[in-house]
Structure 1
Amino acid sequence: MVLGGGYVGLYTSLGLLRKLRAGEATVTVIDPRSYMTYQPFLPEASAGSLSPRHVVVPLRRVLKGAEIINAHVTKVDHARKVVTVEPLEGPSYEVPYDEVVVALGSKARTLPIPGLAEQGIGFKTVEEAIWLRNHVLRCLDLAASTQDAERRSRALTFTFVGGGYAGVEAIAELEDMARYALRYYPQLHPDELRFVLVEATGRILPEVGEDMGRYTLDELRQRGLDVLLETRLESCVDGHVVLSDGQRFDSDTVVWTAGVKASPVLANTDLPLDDKGRLVCDADLRVHGLADAWGAGDNAAVPDITNPGSFCSPSAQHAVRQATHLADNIVKSLRGKEIEPYRHKHVGSVASLGLHKGVAQVYGVKLRGWPAWFMHRTYHVSRVPTLNRKIRVIVDWTLALFFKREIVSLGEMAAPREEFHQAAGGGQ
């Protein structure tokens, strides 16, 4: 039983299906979505560099031979070896298992900030990426057609909270797209665009090292982005943003990327958790103290044996390798063979800052600009699942070399029935 169809869930299931002999075991995957999202490509999907369909992988197509249950996991009773699921429709029910892999991933870590739940949006799903792209372009449409100066300013102010990977890549890609789009809006001036990045600590992109973090900060500021360090979002009620440094302004866009936390479903299990709500795992990816429960990815605290005293970071780099190792260990365990600890030394990090712009620190080598951007694309296309998706991603990038970006807002996708509703008399 594999709980979660993300990167770890998909690749663990795929590894099991390939390594298990016919009739040796069955594989069941439970996830509310019928596809896996390759999250490192979400910024490019939101900026229009990639088709959204090419950053997702259909589970039923890839995991041939596995049972796929589209449902939310609500409880795990390992003492009874049953999982309670809530299907997309209908009452909850229990599903029994012999071995369980907990790969539920992470959720956005939010704070009780007034207005955030109503005004904010995250950046962890392809749905959010598509919505943000349409929203940013719709804001340009609105600003170009209104004569209200305050409304225009509000539409052209985009606020991002969180200076980690997700926040920096999202704001950089969307700002790059918005400035490109302005060539089709003669009514708007580039100086009217305001992109604000709010970070509570004193640095951004800590994953790439202090030097590269400072370079990224300088790069974003030179592009005109307003990067506010040691600053917190205190309120955004009705789009009125209030920051801890005293700044107040109106913004139609509030994107929350200030960290993640392990899936809250873990709190409704009898499995051991640490003080951060993560699954406590041993280095061999078994849940501590249990022989028939396993964990990996963002929801698991896996000891990093290459750096004693620390845990593996919640990154795609570890998820890729943990999933493959986990499948190997489960098969070995089923066959009575000795399992091995997971070992991988972090090799560095890469980040995209928009088209042809990036930053990287790999094996101690620091890169910036086009070389870093190229390395970012090369690494992630090698990691996106299936040859089918790799080819589609490369084709998208190749076409982008010869044709201009598609700049069109499909904002009505958020309410596709509205026009028919009004035509049928619902608007009277």
Structure 2
Amino acid sequence: MARPKILVVGAGFAGVGCIRRLERKLAADEADISLVTPVSYQLYLPLLPQVASGVLTPQSIAVSLRRSRKYRTRIIPGGAIGVDVRAKVCVIRKITGEIVNEPYDYIVLAPGSITRTFDIPGLVDHARGLKTLAEAAYIRDHVIAQLDLADASQDLGERASRLQFVVVGGGYAGTEAAACLQRLTNNAVKRYPRLDPGLIRWHLIDIAPRLMPELGEKLGLSAQKILRKRGVEISLGVSVAKAGPEEVTFTDGRVIPSRTLIWTAGVAASPLVATLGAETIRGRLVVGADMTLPGQDGVFALGDAAAVPDLAKGEEDALCPPTAQHATRQGRAVADNVIATLRHQPLKPYAHKDLGLVVDLGGKDAVSKPLGIELRGLPAQIVARGYHWSALRTNVAKTRVLTNWVLNAVAGDDFVRTGFQARTPATLRDFAYIDVYLTPDQVREHTAGTSTPTE
């Protein structure tokens, strides 16, 4: 009989955490392991704002999946576009465009999330996200390009619109992006003698009543104070009513002349979830505490795509937040449960208490709450960067990130734009890809007649 086949979908924190554990604890003859991912690296998402602001190079936070000498997982270069849990088949569109059926015995669904958008006129056509490496690299080029274009323009109106920047989303990604990018433009404008530094204005808006509510009121207010001291205009209880190529209209009626709208207002579970036809909560798959899909054999789901019960909170309806910290630990827990299933052993529920939160605001500014202890300034910065550095998976990645941090601290910001993406729009529409997924009926039609690998 053929060895059981384990298929892991997604190479984020959850998927890679699962793969590493499976490779470490499973003997080579116990199962075959495959990983579906369009790129052969794990992206360290929490550091994307530092890539966007040029503190880190893109390669620093793209951790290769092929460097490990012990790596025995087969990488399938593509994306899952449908799952038939009855036939035990995953439909994959390879990066070549070919669509194939991949049978499995056990499937681990960790497809992550996409940028959450709303039906706002012009949003997907003019806003830019911060969810992928390409988006972060593009934002850096785009922001520096606005300084160059403003410097070259003789039109005062155009110059003013190019030097106003709008960031939507008062969570960690939006707050860190606004903080790091504002610091970049504030330092860069000193090299543009024709530009009035007073024209550069950053707006951070969020529909919520305060920034990063998970940090608590005191630390959230501390972050606001730091940003406002730098000149960032913070508007709470406000969102975008309409987006255009040269202006952004807020829901409070203000019209901001701006060529830069960065959208970080939350995430939504991968559209792959909808292809299963299973029960969901706010778009996330309903799973048990052991992260199995109820009523389905050999299906596990975790990370941003799954509504995993948060047993540590002790509340009946509490769910684990979609954070990297939970995803990493869930990956290891799912791997243990997959192995337990293979070996006919009992499965264990996932329970993990959050270790704390860290927010890097650039320079010596930060706010952190490790183990419930509130920190500000340099101590918070040391904790924030220490946490991120230790969480990087390889020594190569750690060396690159540490070198970039030291170089930036000693030499300052680099204001060079590559120009590689100058002719690429790189808006939310360009990175959505939500139209590639199949419906549940299309999945069943596509997988008809496919047998499972151990039959």
TM-score by length of 2: 0.88
| Post-superposition offset of 1:148 | 0.7
Where in structure 2 are the equivalents of 1:22-421 lying within 5 Å? 22-62=28-68, 64-270=71-277, 272-307=278-313, 308-309=315-316, 310-415=318-423
CA distance in 2, matches of 1:259, 1:274: 18
Amino acid at match of 1:114: P
Q: Is the 8 A contact 1:209 1:361 kept in 2?
A: no
CA distance in 1, matches of 2:201, 2:248: 13
User: CA deviation digits over 1:45-72, x for unaligned, max 9?
Assistant: 1112111101011223347211111112
CA distance in 2, matches of 1:6, 1:317: 12
Amino acid at match of 2:39: R
| Post-superposition offset of 1:387 | 2.0
% same residue: 39
User: CA deviation digits over 1:319-369, x for unaligned, max 9?
Assistant: 121112222222122112222211111232110111211111222211111
CA distance in 1, matches of 2:420, 2:94: 28
* Corresponding residue to 2:15 among 5, 9, 13: 9
The runs of at least 4 aligned residues of structure 1 exceeding 6 Å deviation read: none
CA distance in 2, matches of 1:405, 1:237: 30
Relative contact order higher in (CA < 8 Å, ≥ 6 apart) = 2
| Post-superposition offset of 1:398 | 2.3
State the match for 2:26 in structure 1.
20
Amino acid at match of 1:339: L
CA distance in 1, matches of 2:172, 2:47: 12
Gaps in structure 1 of 5+ consecutive residues: 417-428
CA distance in 2, matches of 1:362, 1:89: 44
| Post-superposition offset of 1:132 | 0.5
Q: Is the 8 A contact 2:80 2:93 kept in 1?
A: yes
Gaps in structure 2 of 5+ consecutive residues: 1-6, 425-455
Amino acid at match of 1:300: A
SS in 1 for 2:97: coil
CA distance in 2, matches of 1:227, 1:183: 24
Q: Is the 8 A contact 1:60 1:68 kept in 2?
A: no
SS in 1 for 2:209: coil
CA distance in 2, matches of 1:414, 1:8: 33
User: CA deviation digits over 1:130-156, x for unaligned, max 9?
Assistant: 100111111111111211101101110
Q: How many residues align?
A: 415
SS in 1 for 2:281: coil
CA distance in 1, matches of 2:302, 2:255: 42
CA distance in 1, matches of 2:291, 2:335: 10
Alignment RMSD (CA, Å): 1.5
CA distance in 2, matches of 1:333, 1:103: 18
| Post-superposition offset of 1:10 | 1.2
Range that drifts further, 321-330 or 127-136: 321-330
| Post-superposition offset of 1:238 | 2.4
Range that drifts further, 74-83 or 239-248: 239-248
